[in-house]
Structure 1
Amino acid sequence: MTFGPASRLGVALFEETDPIEFIPGQSDDAKEAIIRAVYRQILGNAYVMESERASVPESQFKNGELSVREFVRAIAKSDLYSSRFFETTPRYRFIELNFKHFLGRTPKDLEEMRMHSDLLDNGGYEAEIDSYLDSDEYQATFGEYFVPYLRGYKTDAGISMVGFTHIFAMQRGASSSDLKGSLSGISPVLNRNVINPTPMPVVAPSAGASGDGWSFQESTTRDAGLTRLGAGAGDSGKVFRIEVTGYSSPGKVNRISKFRRSNKVYYVPFERLSDEYKRIHATGGVISSITPC
């Protein structure tokens, strides 16, 4: 079992599961396990009914006519993927999910997002899918026979800390679903944080035993839910911005946020910082960031 940050942040399952590779000569049961793993990764852990499964590509894979990569391509170009993530979502939500599903990471910056947006305009849906699966990055990471997996939370050379924080906003625990599991609905999760680029608070997912951070959703404006405690700075001349999430209704079976927005922002003079810290925790809040102003 994985302990420490991995277990608290919802990536323990990915740490404990070795990458899945197809090896020629494997049993039908092993091939079926690979098929299930592909559905789980490419469809963002969303449930797939038996009638929705791609029976022809599955048969071709089992018969050795398709590699894992080509089976992934078949699922990605299917009506199942298109109807869930392309036809019903905004463009940038579709693109950020493609990065997660096919490369196991989030977009690095605005330029990557723009490039894929232009590709959708000029090449269409299938060209967008091919751009991930035919990329040097995909080949170097997964090749022909590995099932793609989540990897953006790992510290790799060339990967910025911004992307590291973004993956935790995109992946809210091993039981979350990209189809229905996001508090943002069909809106892009990363949004302006890719444009800037800006790190996001890393908050434990709903699967945590304490439920801390379950309701976290980034504020749509920097000062959404703002409360100013005190008029300006204190004797030290310093003011701190505290962003809080995870407020709950005591005594309820389901922990429901008291606020329409999951975040609450407080501006606090330095002299009152310790008292406010204690008050927030006493009322069930979880501090996601404290930054000097």
Structure 2
Amino acid sequence: MAFGPASQLGIEQFDQTPPVRVTPGCSAVELETIIRAVYRQVLGNAYVMESERAIVPESQFKRGELSVREFVRAVGKSALYSTRFFDTCPRYRFIELNFKHFLGRTPNGLEEMRMHSTILDNEGFAAEIDSYLDSDEYQNNYGEDIVPYYRGYKTQPGQTMVGFTHLFALYRGASSSDLKGSLSGKTPVLNKYVIQETPLAVIPPSGGVPGDGWSFQDTARGSRTRHGAGAGDEGKVFRIEVTGYSSPGKVNRVSKYRRSNKVFLVPYEKLSQEYQRIHKEGGVIASITPV
């Protein structure tokens, strides 16, 4: 089952849509739909020009010479995938995207990241792609005939809440693209959080609650501010994470904040006052947690 209201988290298209798969007697139109689904999943929703398509593997798939899994392998090991995600991205950005594209989840921890880094060092790009497609996990979830899909938002054996929150940092909705749609650019999104097993605030991606979360990105430590000198009489300080800062009033008015999300450390007795200030300035509170 999905965690939370799917429509608010932006994953209703996966929660309410059955997996795309090959069935006996598929028509030419249905096969073309499967091919498009493979490109969309494996290439992270990035646009594919006609000249970039894997024409030979497509023809082999349509003739029944390749299964869905082998067609996914062909696209994953293509020059198109390599130039977009391997040649131009840092190692750990490449690995976290491989987990997303081929297994539909994020890395479970540092050891998984290390294992795939070792495969890259010792065996190279092609072996790294094979390591996902030849895994028991891939076979158990997708087999030969199902197009990979995002699974990390569901409760399932072996899935931690940390991994659940991490998926929403990688998946930013149906209108985003792993090639151009991430505000992190080509830098790793999860590296330090996977290493430290640190959960992230779940911000609805584009396609979720209107206006929320499309611009969310990690907050630099230097942007954190403390309102108040200490914990105060109640002995507690709270971390307020704010996303979607916009300028109140006129559309063309420039916000005083250079980043769209910020973090504030606030004593308990000032929470109400800070809450009002944030909303007055056009911010959307993503989370409030005790420090």
TM-score of the pair, normalised by structure 1 = 0.93
Gaps of 5+ in 2: none
Corresponding position of 2:288: 290
Q: For residues 182 and 62 of structure 2, what CA distance do their matches in structure 1 show?
A: 33
- Whole-angstrom distance in 1 between the partners of 2:210 and 2:40: 26
Q: Deviations over 1:120-159 (max 9, x none)?
A: 0000000000000000000000000001011110111110
* Alignment deviations for residues 40-65 of structure 1 (CA, whole Å, 9 cap, x no partner): 10001100001111110000001111
Corresponding residue of 1:158: 158
2:263 is the counterpart of 1:262 = no
Q: Structure 2: how far apart are the matches of 1:233 and 1:256?
A: 33
| Structure 1 residue ranges without an equivalent (≥5) | none
Question: Where do 1:198-237 residues align within 5 Å?
Answer: 198-208=198-208, 210-221=210-221, 224-237=222-235
Cα distance, 1:207 vs. partner?
A: 3.6
* Percent identity of paired positions between Structure 1 and Structure 2: 72
1:13 Cα shift?
A: 1.2
**Among residues 238, 248, 251, which one is paired with 1:250 in the alignment?**
248
Letter in 2 for 1:238: K
Inter-partner Cα distance in structure 2 for 1:24 and 1:129? 28
Q: Which amino acid aligns with 1:145?
A: D
**Does the 8 Å contact 2:10/2:209 carry over to 1?**
no
Give the Å deviation of 1:271: 1.2
| Residue 276 (1) aligns with residue 288 (2) | no
Could you tell me how far 1:246 is from its partner in structure 2? Answer: 1.2
Report how far residue 256 of structure 1 moved: 7.7
Moved more, 56-65 or 15-24: 15-24
How many Å apart are 1:255 and its aligned residue? 9.8
Partner of 2:87: 87
Q: 1:43 to 1:227 in 2, by over 3 A?
A: same
Residue pair 1:9, 1:173 contacting (<8 A) in 2 also: no
Where do residues 167-206 of structure 1 align in structure 2 (5 Å cutoff)?
Answer: 167-206=167-206
Aligned partner of residue 287 in structure 2, secondary structure: strand
Report how many residues are paired: 289
- Report what 2:5 is aligned to: 5
Match of 1:29 in 2: 29
Which 10-residue stretch deviates more, 237-246 or 208-217?
208-217
Residues of 2 paired with 1:130 and 1:241: CA distance?
A: 42
Partner of 2:58, secondary structure, is helix
Amino acid at match of 1:88: T
1:78, distance to aligned residue in structure 2 (A):
0.6
Alpha-carbon contact 1:218-1:262 (below 8 Å) kept: no
Task: Indicate the residue corresponding to 2:140 in structure 1.
Answer: 140
SS of 2:285's equivalent? strand
Cα distance, 1:254–1:19 mapped onto 2, change above 3 Å: farther
Q: Aligned partners of 2:56, 2:289: CA distance in 1, in Å?
A: 54
Deviation at 1:210, TM superposition (A): 3.5
Q: Give me the whole-angstrom Cα distance separating, in 1, the residues matched to 2:163 and 2:36.
A: 27
Q: Is contact 1:205-1:212 (8 Å) kept?
A: yes
**Retained in 2: the 8 A contact 1:104–1:151?**
yes
TM-score using structure 2 length: 0.94
Counterpart residue identity of residue 54, structure 1: A
Preserved CA contact (<8 Å) 2:243 2:262? yes
The answer as to 2:113 corresponding to 1:113 is: yes
Tell me the distance in 2 between the aligned counterparts of 1:168 and 1:257. Answer: 26
Give CA deviations for 1:185-240 in whole Å, capped at 9, x if unaligned: 0001112000001001101223445312222111133xx32222222122222222
C-alpha separation between the residues in 2 aligned to 1:122 and 1:258?
A: 49
* Deviation for aligned residue 1:118: 0.5
| SS class of match (1:60) | helix
Contact 1:9–1:204 under 8 Å retained in 2: yes
Tell me, yes or no, if the aligned pair for 1:242 and 1:268 is still in contact at 8 Å: yes
Aligned-CA RMSD value: 1.9
Taking a change above 3 Å as real, the CA distance of residues 96 and 257 of structure 1, as seen in their structure-2 partners, is farther
Assess, with a 3 A threshold, how the Cα gap between structure 1 residues 258 and 123 changes in structure 2: closer, same or farther: farther
Indicate conservation of the 8 Å contact 2:9/2:209, yes or no. no
- Structure 1 residue matching 2:108: 3-state secondary structure: coil
Distance in structure 2 (CA, Å) of the matches to 1:251 and 1:271 = 29
